[in-house]
Amino acid sequence: MSKKLSLTTKIFIALILGVITGLVLHPLKDNPFVSKYLLNFVFNLLGNGFVRAIRMVVVPLVLCSLVIGAAGIEDVTKLGRIGIKTLVFYLSTTAFAVILALVGGNIINPGKGVRIGDIAVSEVTVSETKPFVDILLEMIPINPAEAMATGNMLQIIVFAILVGISLSLLGDKASNIKKVFEEGNSLSLKLVEIIMIFAPFGVYGLIAKTFTTLGYVALLPLFKYFIGVVIILFIHCLVTYQGILVLFGKYNPIKFFKNFAPTMMVGFSTASSSACLPSSLKSMQETFGVSKAISSFTIPLGNTINMDGTAVMQGVATIFIAQIYGVDLTMGNYITIILTATLASIGTAGVPGVGVIMLGMVLVQVGLPLEGIGLVMGIDRFVDMFRTMINITGDAVCTLVIAKTEGEQLKEAI
Ligand code: ASP
């Protein structure tokens, strides 16, 4: 047995310890020592200290990763029709995935019936219903510095995408600034890595606080959240993707799964889209017979910007968190979630656990408490395995559809 436990194992152990601590302390929750020193001091410090640290990195991470993501769009314009088709495919399937997650989340209601509103530290400030035109107008920042200072994610996203596109148009003339964003992105990811060292403590604090307050009734919502995400991921994979594959790719779904399963297993076991890149490319080119010209564009691009599984998790998690904090989401909130989660997918790096940090961006945008992240983080690795598998399957389906619509002869096509 190796001496060092992986971070995932540590977080999972922290979750179990947090649940046990909370269940033991629940009957004593009104005891002055428990409430003053444990709940409001120790658990609060650990849990909210961690949440504040995550919050610190959300804005720089989103800004840098999206600027770089958008700067890579130059390849899209170079590739003309194929580029546009791929981009439209990726963005629309992701938006659809979020809609599915929101509908499914409202049917499954993972957080209904359990209220931890009173232990939320940040005030819940979900905005009232706004006219759609205002939602659109307010996406355009009049002052990017203000958008960053107040953490207005949609405004930051719009600014980042425009900066990225401008950088790519400037080419060599702005290569230094581009480098600053690239290095800023590495820096932000390093910061995330450092903050994540403290994740077991943070998760312990947040979970212990929740379970001390609520007792065992808090187990059911977590379980429902997990099952809910997995079910919706499967629906997206089996219905949306296979429907598209049959309709536009003229490819038999059974054969698709038979041929792509090994790569899906790599995604499941590593929880990293990036780690699947070689296997995805090889499978597309050798097993499915897609040309290098198409697959060597669509697969790496999809790996970085197309994360339908992550978007599904973010949609369900947002509903889960809103419900347990007793917040009713408005239509305007739902539109905001669709927009933010779709764009968050562009900015999510294909490595384990980044999706749940990017969830912070969605929560901030709809005004939900970030502490919610701590609740889902304890089981996030398991969710990550399933969502990564769907992330890479989406890239493969897109590649086959593009190849087919470009008139390529696929192996084993219908
Ligand atoms: N692990 C995911 C991926 O690599 C990203 C995430 O959602 O955390 O695709």
With H, G, I as helix, E, B as strand and everything else as coil, classify residue 321: helix
Q: Band of the pLDDT at 74, cuts 50, 70, 90?
A: low
The domain that holds 326 is classified in CATH as 1.10.3860
pLDDT on residue 76: 67
Calpha distance 8→50 (Å, rounded): 16
The mean of the pLDDT values for the chain is: 87
267 CB under 6 A from ligand 1? no
With vertex at residue 334, the alpha carbon angle to CA 111 and CA 116, rounded to the nearest 5 degrees, is: 25
277 CB under 6 A from ligand 1? no
The alpha carbon of 352 and the centre of ligand 1 are apart by a number of angstroms equal to 5
pLDDT on residue 414: 65
- Quick check: pTM over 0.95? no
- Contact criterion met (CB below 8 Å) for 147 and 156: yes
Is 411 a domain residue? Answer: no
Is 331 a domain residue? Answer: yes
The alpha carbon of 386 and the centre of ligand 1 are apart by a number of angstroms equal to 10
**Percentage, residues of the chain above pLDDT 70:** 93
Is 111 a domain residue? Answer: yes
pLDDT on residue 125: 47
Domain ranges, residue 102: 7-406
Closest CA to 167 of 94, 63, 91: 63
pLDDT on residue 117: 57
352 CB under 6 A from ligand 1? yes
> What is the atom index within ligand 1 of the atom nearest the CA of 391?
9
The alpha carbon of 349 and the centre of ligand 1 are apart by a number of angstroms equal to 7
Q: Mind listing the pLDDT tens digit for each residue in 171-194?
A: 899 999 999 999 998 898 889 889
pLDDT on residue 337: 94
pLDDT on residue 229: 98
In the chain, how many domains are there?
A: 1
Q: Band of the pLDDT at 161, cuts 50, 70, 90?
A: confident
With vertex at residue 346, the alpha carbon angle to CA 340 and CA 369, rounded to the nearest 5 degrees, is: 35
pLDDT on residue 127: 47
Mutate to test the pocket of ligand 1, among 391, 393, 395 (most ligand atoms within 8 A of CB): 391
Q: If you average pLDDT over residues 9-24, what whole number do you get?
A: 91
The protein residue whose alpha carbon is closest to atom 7 in ligand 1 is: 355
Exposure class string for 322-359: b at 16+ Cβ within 10 A, else e? bbbbebebeebbbebbbbbbbbbbbbbbbbbbbbbbbb
Q: Mind listing the pLDDT tens digit for each residue in 326-361?
A: 888 989 899 999 999 998 888 788 888 889 999 998
DSSP string, 236-294: IIIIIIHHHHHHHH---HHHHHHHHHHHHHHHHHH--HHHHHHHHHHIIIIIS---HHH
> What is the atom index within ligand 1 of the atom nearest the CA of 272?
4
- Number of other residues whose CB lies within 10 A of the CB of residue 170: 13
Is 114 a domain residue? Answer: yes
Is 140 a domain residue? Answer: yes
Q: Enumerate residues 6+ apart whose C-beta is below 8 A from 211.
A: 18, 19, 21, 22, 23, 25, 26, 218
The top-scoring range by mean pLDDT among 66-70, 77-81, 344-348, 384-388 is: 384-388
Is 301 a domain residue? Answer: yes
391 CB under 6 A from ligand 1? yes
Is 48 a domain residue? Answer: yes
Q: How many residues does the chain have?
A: 414
314 CB under 6 A from ligand 1? no
- Number of other residues whose CB lies within 10 A of the CB of residue 371: 26
Q: If you average pLDDT over residues 134-146, what whole number do you get?
A: 88
pLDDT at 118 over 50: no
pLDDT at 94 over 70: yes
Is 412 a domain residue? Answer: no
With H, G, I as helix, E, B as strand and everything else as coil, classify residue 141: coil
